[in-house]
A and B are shown apart, each in its own frame.
Chain A
């Protein structure tokens, strides 16, 4: 394979890995991938308008627990690991893994080409002439 193709594959692989890690970081560094639950969001939005719980703010009922009950996060998060076979299969491992393999394979190929006396990157006619 020509060196510029290997270099292009290397850049592509590194880009995939970096972008995946950036997305993992931006979505909360979750261990497992999760998706937004529209049903739960609608229920929470309905509860926001005139929540019964609001009536008890300032009554001291939450004083021992240090605040109101925390809600479960409900935003998309790219996890380090997949959390299911369907759309939950997307994760840092399944995205950056293949990206890293492509990058490693390309990098290894480039190194090998540079070091090898019988260059694997040389044009075919040259290889043939060397074999003769």
Chain B
């Protein structure tokens, strides 16, 4: 009885540590089109919500010797917190971006099924790929004009794939566009665009380690991710 109780205690402690490590993503809203922004983040500055579903948001490429695989998704949800001072919008302070594994599309249904299987991304037990933005480094203005400012930055945060978190630094460009007559015709609110191209090693996250497809040169260990996220200060659920 005592042993069972001890095991239960150890299990609970492990679960608490897991939660505290930041692996759990912010929960989705009821409609599921964005995340619930934690109060401590919302109070830090201006909240920008990722606008999923319309434009392409991410492409991933595996350039292995035997096969070139390309996939896409436009189901990324999340948010970013920017300083309230418009002149420093690019220096994002926090954020979270969630990519549902089930939304990864390579154009071949059977390959998508394989990708989502437990041997690969394990969509059943780890349904999301999460990037938690902790800070932005080296922000400098790259281009400025009437109506927009573009920054060259380094995003610092944790990437979680298949339940494994790794700290990452991602070079990116961020463009802010305050609301105007021109922008209102397309989407309400102040707009923000984040473009980042970077590589992720699957073996770092324990994905398909030693899998025959990887060993035989059909799938590369290093996957290139190209991300273009569009965000607005108006939630995608507003007015729905």
Residues of A bordering B, CB below 8 Å = 31-34, 37, 40, 43, 46-47, 50-56, 59-65, 68-74, 83-85, 88
| Candidate in B51, B110, B148, B195 with the most chain A CB atoms within 10 angstroms | B195
The SS class assigned to the B binding surface is strand
* Residue among B109, B193, B197 making CB contact with A59, cutoff 8 Å: B193
Distance of B148 from chain A, by nearest CB (Å): 5
Q: Please tell me if the beta carbons of B107 and A52 are within 8 angstroms of each other in the complex.
A: no
Q: Is B111's beta carbon under 8 Å from chain A?
A: yes
Q: Please tell me if the beta carbons of B191 and A55 are within 8 angstroms of each other in the complex.
A: yes
A-B contact sample (20 more), CB < 8 A, given A34-B107, A55-B182: A33-B108, A50-B186, A51-B54, A51-B186, A52-B55, A52-B187, A52-B230, A54-B186, A56-B148, A59-B150, A59-B175, A62-B173, A69-B195, A69-B228, A71-B72, A72-B106, A83-B108, A83-B109, A83-B110, A84-B110
Which residues of B sit under 8 angstroms from A32, Cβ to Cβ?
A: 108, 111
Q: A50-B186, A55-B183, A59-B177 are in contact. Are A64 and B171 (CB under 8 A)?
A: yes
Q: State in angstroms the CA–CA spacing of A34 and B71 once bound together.
A: 13
Interface residues of B in 19-62 (CB under 8 A from A): 51, 53-59
Q: State in angstroms the CA–CA spacing of A9 and B175 once bound together.
A: 64
Which residues of A sit under 8 angstroms from B152, Cβ to Cβ?
A: 64
Q: Please tell me if the beta carbons of A52 and B173 are within 8 angstroms of each other in the complex.
A: no
Which residues of B sit under 8 angstroms from A83, Cβ to Cβ?
A: 108-111
Residues of B bordering A, CB below 8 Å = 51, 53-59, 67-68, 70-72, 74, 105-111, 142-143, 145, 148, 150, 152, 171-175, 177, 182-183, 185-187, 191, 193, 195, 197, 226, 228, 230
